[in-house]
Structure 1
Amino acid sequence: MKPYSCPGHERSLTQIKFNPEGDLLFSCSKDHVINVWFTHNGERLGTYDGHNGTVWTLDVDSQSRFLVSGSADNTMRLWSVQTGKCLYRWEFPTAVKRVAFSDEDDQIVCITEQRMGHQGAVRIFSVNREDDGTNQPKEPTSMFHPVGSKATLCAFAHTPNLILMGHESGKVALFDAKTGEEVLSNERAHMDLVTDLQLSPDRSYFITSSKDKTARLHETRTLTVLKTYSTETPLNSAAIARGKPYVLLGGGQDAMSVTTTSLRQGKFETRFWHKVFEEEVGRVKGHFGPINTIAVSPKGDCFASGGEDGFVRVHHFDESYFRVKPYGDLEIED
């Protein structure tokens, strides 16, 4: 599995995301730049320039038409994927930590940080998909402040009226998108900060990673923990493989202690775990520092990781990956 190493960022990666067709990979970083890459050869297709601070988060809609990004410059921006042009910008009092499109692409949810006397806020915006995309509603359709532990991650849940959120305390919760009321919560989903949250294609279950050195699979409707994957290192990201019963976990010791640890000790590998049997089945090396973000192609033919070292690595799976029988002789039908 020879990876394509994509050296297009000068600082550590914060999030990477495939488009729904799996032919493009978007990456954002602390160097203020968003890049887009061809996944088949790792070549850079272009950049989205305009942010004046760390770009913490991005998401792309199901038609690969719009890209949304959130940054430490206190703005959320809507971009044309094709032209790289910034179509609209929303301004907030604090940094935007997470953004996500709804299933129908008609809404965006974003979380802004709790800082300098401002409460952490969740805002939901309608997206005007008519015309060229430059005419967007300035005000959110709804906005609320989650009480208690700080919210760090958000996504639309299995139904459009619910927002799924991960918190600093390790809590995972469902909120009503209109009223901001907490509908359901699992206070003990993790014992420490939830660092990533990725949903399955049908949004019926999701995976979270945490600084408590575990990743967990949860049912979206009930927030029940279905599976736990325990490692010996803090985790920054977790993704669900397509078409195979695996989950991919990435992390490593924090950047401060990297200089004093060897690569092997630092645990800077992407780990493959069997989704059902909760057993580690393999590791992929490559990064020279902690892995900050992992994404799996919707086609299931490759995965990508972004590290503290500023590199994006795209790994296309070998033929043996598709031939292996993860359940032994048992044939599982999709």
Structure 2
Amino acid sequence: GHTNRVWSVRFSPDGKTIASGGDDRSAKLWNIATGECSKTIQGYSNVVYRIAFESDRQLLASGHEDQTVKLWDIHTGQHRSLSGHKNRVFDVAFHPIMSILASASGDRTVKLWDWHTGNCLHTFAGHESWVVSVTFSPDGQILASSSYDHTIKLWHVQTGECIQVLRGHTNYVLSIAFSPDGQLLVSGSYGQTIKLWEVSTGDCLGTWEGQDSRIWSVAFSPDGQTIVSGGNDRSIKLWSISDRKSLHKPLRTLEGHEGEILSTSFNQKGDMLLSTSMDKTIKLWDLATDRCIKTLHGHENSVWSGILSQDGCTILSSSADETIKIWDVQAERCIKTLRSPRPYENMNITGVTGLTEAQKNTLKALGSVED
């Protein structure tokens, strides 16, 4: 049968066949009388979920739907793949000191990689469902991971030991971030809530009621005093960590996106904010005025992740359109697009006979070309 979740089933008009579709990117036709699969229609997709940037080496890491982690040289566009996960890779994070990369996957594990050699150093197992977010503490001693199993786990990077399990969310934990001093952790969930945790004890210090439902992104300001969240209500909210009694009152709310907010991050000074959205755009906000000062268009699907360079001149973004884009902020234009090869990349089908127009269009979507 299917090798992943089945999201949809339908009967044929004559009642003799069932069609099913699932996360394994296939549709299957089933004979009701025999229970056998009579046909499998295989699709292809390679969404780029989260990205991470190692500025000293100008190295970009990306997590992909095809179960791989990819490492990119952003100047040449060359990449190499790290394979080992058995489900899509939702998030990646560089260690702040060592040449280590962490990846979070739907196979319920977190992997640590030596990004010099491409070798897998450790596999952290223990979550009971998809692991969707991963981040290192500022000193690099602790790795935090969050999961659809409603928990956050803290791992000792060197030993691989799970040293703390943070419980309290009642739904998927979609996003996590350490405070700049590493003493606090913030988490956002599918169940409307944002929680603040003390890392050393695992105690929950406060809970805020955030967006209507899904909180896709949380982050700390550089001074550690403010939390930003983004979610399904299309707004960006700023919260004071010192005001834990006003559970329903953000400091400020930024509005302008027309889709769910998928990622949020501050610049180094803390005076600007970057956001990405399901509306296919990237926005840069001036926090002195709460105004959107730049909107970048070019992606053809949801923008899962965005990173602002230290000098504020460049933005990196990843999208469900299977691309990573590099943007010139001042010019508001894309200066480079990175895309991993598709199954039939650059295969020339000019003059090929026996193909219908629909089949040709499918091959082109998978990378083939026609003069």
Alignment of 1:93-242 (within 5 A): 93-114=128-149, 120-128=150-158, 136-137=159-160, 139-187=161-209, 189-222=210-243, 225-231=250-256, 232-242=258-268
Aligned letter for 2:275? L
**1:308–1:68 distance in 2 versus 1, CA, 3 Å:** same
Q: How far does residue 221 in structure 1 lie from its aligned partner after superposition?
A: 4.5
1:44 equivalent in alignment to 2:81: no
> SS at 2:175's partner residue?
strand
CA–CA separation in structure 2 for the residues paired with 1:249 and 1:24: 22
Task: Decide whether the 8 Å contact of 2:145 with 2:153 is kept in 1.
Answer: yes
Q: How far does residue 152 in structure 1 lie from its aligned partner after superposition?
A: 2.0
Partner of 2:272: 246
CA–CA separation in structure 2 for the residues paired with 1:20 and 1:221: 32
CA–CA separation in structure 1 for the residues paired with 2:72 and 2:112: 19
Task: Decide whether the 8 Å contact of 2:222 with 2:266 is kept in 1.
Answer: no
Partner of 2:58: 23
> SS at 1:78's partner residue?
strand
Q: CA RMSD in A?
A: 2.5
> SS at 1:225's partner residue?
coil
Runs of 5+ unmatched residues, structure 1: 1-8, 115-119, 129-135, 253-266, 322-334
**1:87–1:175 distance in 2 versus 1, CA, 3 Å:** same
Q: How far does residue 22 in structure 1 lie from its aligned partner after superposition?
A: 7.0
1:314 equivalent in alignment to 2:349: no
CA–CA separation in structure 1 for the residues paired with 2:89 and 2:332: 37
Alignment of 1:14-93 (within 5 A): 14-21=49-56, 23-39=58-74, 41=75, 43-63=77-97, 65-92=99-126, 93=128
CA–CA separation in structure 1 for the residues paired with 2:118 and 2:241: 34
CA–CA separation in structure 2 for the residues paired with 1:220 and 1:20: 29
Task: Decide whether the 8 Å contact of 1:22 with 1:297 is kept in 2.
Answer: no
Task: Decide whether the 8 Å contact of 2:186 with 2:218 is kept in 1.
Answer: no
> SS at 1:141's partner residue?
strand
Q: How far does residue 199 in structure 1 lie from its aligned partner after superposition?
A: 3.0
Partner of 2:302: 290
Task: Decide whether the 8 Å contact of 2:151 with 2:165 is kept in 1.
Answer: yes
> SS at 1:207's partner residue?
strand
Q: How far does residue 87 in structure 1 lie from its aligned partner after superposition?
A: 0.6
Task: Decide whether the 8 Å contact of 1:123 with 1:144 is kept in 2.
Answer: yes
CA–CA separation in structure 2 for the residues paired with 1:147 and 1:279: 33
CA–CA separation in structure 2 for the residues paired with 1:280 and 1:233: 15
> SS at 1:110's partner residue?
strand
Aligned letter for 1:226? L
CA–CA separation in structure 1 for the residues paired with 2:207 and 2:49: 27
Work out which of the two has the higher radius of gyration on C-alpha atoms and give 1 or 2: 2
CA–CA separation in structure 2 for the residues paired with 1:100 and 1:301: 25
Aligned letter for 1:18? F
**1:71–1:244 distance in 2 versus 1, CA, 3 Å:** closer
Task: Decide whether the 8 Å contact of 2:73 with 2:79 is kept in 1.
Answer: yes
Q: How far does residue 11 in structure 1 lie from its aligned partner after superposition?
A: 1.2
**1:127–1:281 distance in 2 versus 1, CA, 3 Å:** same
Alignment of 1:269-288 (within 5 A): 269-288=281-300
Q: CA-to-partner distance for each residue in 1:264-298, whole Å, 9 max, x for gaps?
A: xxx42212222221222221111111111111123
Q: CA-to-partner distance for each residue in 1:39-79, whole Å, 9 max, x for gaps?
A: 3x251342222111110111111125111111011111011
Q: How far does residue 84 in structure 1 lie from its aligned partner after superposition?
A: 1.3
TM-score by length of 2: 0.70
Q: Say which structure, 1 or 2, has more relative contact order (CA 8 Å, 6+ apart).
A: 1
TM-score by length of 1: 0.77
Question: Percent of aligned pairs with the same residue?
Answer: 18
Partner of 1:255: none
**1:70–1:313 distance in 2 versus 1, CA, 3 Å:** same
> SS at 1:88's partner residue?
strand
What is the total number of aligned residue pairs between the two structures?
A: 284
